[in-house]
Amino acid sequence: MDTFRYTQHFLVLWLTLFSFSVFAQSELTRLRSDLSSVDSAIEASESKLQQHNNSVSRMTTEEDQIVTEYETVSADLQRVLKEAEDPNNEKAHREAMIISVRFNRIDGKYERFFERKQKVLEKIDTLELDIAKLQGRKSELLARIAAAKQRAEVASSQQANVPAANEAESPSPSSGAPSSATVSSQDAKATTATTASASQPLEGTEQANTTSAKKTSEVTKNTNDTVVAAVDSTEADWPTVGEKQASAVQFAQRELARLTGKEPGKSRLGRVKVRSSRLGKHALTYLGDNIYTGVFELANGEYTFSVFSKKFTFSLPEEAEQGQYRLIYDVDSISNPKVYLFPVSWVK
């Protein structure tokens, strides 16, 4: 009877370990499937990113041609308009009309090109963010797969050792069967030890999980740092109408002094124009570090500024200062540009 109970206990232990093994293998299969999906998504996103980067590279030559043509026609138009100031110069009048038509055609081509380029750059920004998120997900899955693999190996190893342990420890007729209390005690210890081994990862797995947790902590820390930086930049960002803060004004003074004191370099967007129904169309000056600016003469009322396909509206109340206003166009994020508007007198 004791031998039967002894065998029964080992059978229960074997079935328990078998369940752990099946669960671990199932988890491993699911994680590998998720990893395969993430790899496919990364590959597809990287392929699209490469296509868009190639498009931007091909645009470089076209951009140089368009900018040169635009500048040439602009200079010709300014010249003939000056000559046409003479009411008796009919030749200059005719030439001014012809070049005006040509300028309007080039100007439209110029704007369409940079709108198209901006859309491509927005897609590049979005894809780069998506790929970064997918890479983070991949690192997480690799750590979980390593842990699941070791759990599966532990469960399989313990399961394979149960028959040998049963054969070695089973009571023989000559030595006499152990008592029920002894069998129960041995079985309890074996079940506890084996279950603990199967349900907990090995030292290497713990290390992998610790590493993964550390990486997650670092990512969280970086994210938090970014959030804090965003809050700080909001407290000390460019000033704008209706929000004159000392920290913002000081920030604008520092940034304008810094940007105007160095070479701007080349912008990703090239030349940028701002349109307004009340002010017309004006080119912005590139200062560097993805910052454009322009100065406009404004009165009270509402102004809508259009840059490429995005619109930004500001309202100047009756009590607002009238005169020259500086517009700041920040394209640090091309997909989410920012516009600030404040009186020139705020920043000396």
CATH number at residue 337: 2.60.40
Q: Are residues 189 and 255 in the same domain?
A: no
Q: Report if residue 210 sits inside a domain.
A: no
> Rounded to an integer, what distance in angstroms lies between the CA atom of residue 140 and that of residue 215?
9
Q: For residues 252 and 196, state if they share a domain.
A: no
Residue 298 lies in a domain: yes
Q: In the chain, how many domains are there?
A: 2
Are 72 and 193 in the same domain? yes
Q: What angle do CA 340, 345, 348 make, to 5 degrees?
A: 95
Q: Are residues 155 and 268 in the same domain?
A: no
CATH of the domain at 64: 1.10.287
C-beta separation of 89 from 247 below 8 A = no
Q: In this structure, are 157 and 288 located in the same domain? A: no
- 5: tokens are 């109970």
Where in the sequence is the domain holding 262, given as residue range(s)?
236-346
Same domain assignment for residues 148 and 280 = no
If asked whether residues 140 and 189 sit together in one domain, one would say yes
User: Of all helices (H) and strands (E), which one includes residue 297?
Assistant: strand 291-298
pTM for this entry: 0.52
Q: Residue 288 to residues 108, 237, 284: CA-CA distances in angstroms?
A: 25, 17, 12
Do 269 and 157 fall within a single domain? no
Q: List the chain pLDDT tens, one digit each, 348 residues.
A: 566 665 666 566 666 666 666 777 788 888 889 999 999 999 999 999 999 888 888 888 888 888 888 888 888 888 888 887 888 888 888 888 888 888 888 888 888 888 888 888 888 888 988 999 999 999 999 998 888 888 777 766 766 665 554 554 454 444 444 444 443 444 444 444 444 444 444 344 444 444 444 443 443 333 333 333 333 344 568 999 888 888 999 999 999 999 988 888 888 777 788 888 888 888 899 999 999 999 999 988 899 998 877 889 999 988 888 899 999 999 888 778 899 999 999 987
Does residue 131 share a domain with residue 21? Answer: yes
